[in-house]
Structure 1
């Protein structure tokens, strides 16, 4: 049976609001919650970007049942992998084993802030692979020394660890990234319902119970035209695809890259308005592709509680039916 999650978007809501949304989403009946981890929003109109790990600590205490996950953290530049291992272990302890560490190769948008440039994609994948090796070693509980092409670790140890290592998911976009990360990670993360990714992943891993976790943006509301306008204002960047989005250096770049995206374009890719059947059909594409988990993103800060109310009464029963 497919698990349905709720996305805590740090780019469109403030930290206190996110904690409230997390508690309401658990009450509404979602199975898990994922949180974005950015330094910048994609567009100025989104207006927020709080520190995900502080919010996760609060969310771990405001919720009691739902699984929690980063979707996704980049452990290569803005964060050192040894520090990521430490804070992931801490959140898992705070949440009593409900946390999954979702990782990705990052975006220029967030990593440029440390002033070290933005490496090409092959180097970013090398860095992520080394980071995974470091984090996995630290989760084992021993002292870790490491000398790689991109990182050195000198006698590091995470002192507060959960009994079971924190599960790790990795965002992938093609066969090359699947073959690199499937053997060492636990779960697949992707934003498109591509069945080939699932096939490649299953062929490259021998870990039982490997999950495939997707994400579906929606803009629910009683007025379809208003929803389309809101989705266009806040989410028109989404259509660029991650190969393009990963390279753009700031919100001005995303605004320029999406300046010719129309409201019709957005409405063609994001279910908008009161039609819950459209959301269900979009979710089924992930299920048909072999995904085990789908996290829904509701576009717009002010609409979250109304969306959660309709999700509890109508959307989640329809998805599970």
Structure 2
């Protein structure tokens, strides 16, 4: 069964033989089975690509030898005084290594979310190496998550969570990724950009391109979070900064009015089963936003519309 994400191999998995990786994948699947029984609702536990579960089972049982993509899913939790959403990315060698876990809430301030994730990471480090830890992370959130709504001011709406601190620089980051297919990553990128009051775009596919612009500290905080996720390859290709004064409106420096995911609505044509986009359309979009110059930074050649 073909997955939306290309098969990738964790570097640590390369040092393990197939039977060892199969054993680790079996443990992952047993934990997911347990979590699905705990959260049976259609929006409680959401697997990014359900076909990956089938592929992992086939791999664990020896029906295929090609290592499938990593498993990614989101668990949506109701806790006292609020809701939490935990994004999970399981490396192939989990539980021998820690997973990537990130928690957010539409009604928590950025400070509260940061503290919550730091405290959760500290808790995960207390779990014995090699033990399954997503279940214990859920238990910790159910027990402790509500306190973060009590200890920090609660936002009245999602837009309030992007209240900016004083910053005398405007920045625009141009990010390049080997590919962006994961629906969970794409949603998290959108959510984080709104959380940090950033405008720009995300172009999914192969390659994946992201532009974020706003207060420089907000772009740095966004980039710090995004690059910590599991990627085959991701880097900042270009960084633009300009000093701003107190009497200048930030919107005057923005090239994009919102943050959006590009696709057919922007007349970006997709080919080869959704893996590749028409680069001429991408260049045209950049030109429309006075950013055509960055095409050469990404691809080493001057672009032209088609």
TM-score by length of 2: 0.30
- Name the structure, 1 or 2, with higher relative contact order (CA <8 Å, separation 6+): 1
Greater strand fraction, Structure 1 or Structure 2: 2
Greater helix fraction, Structure 1 or Structure 2: 1
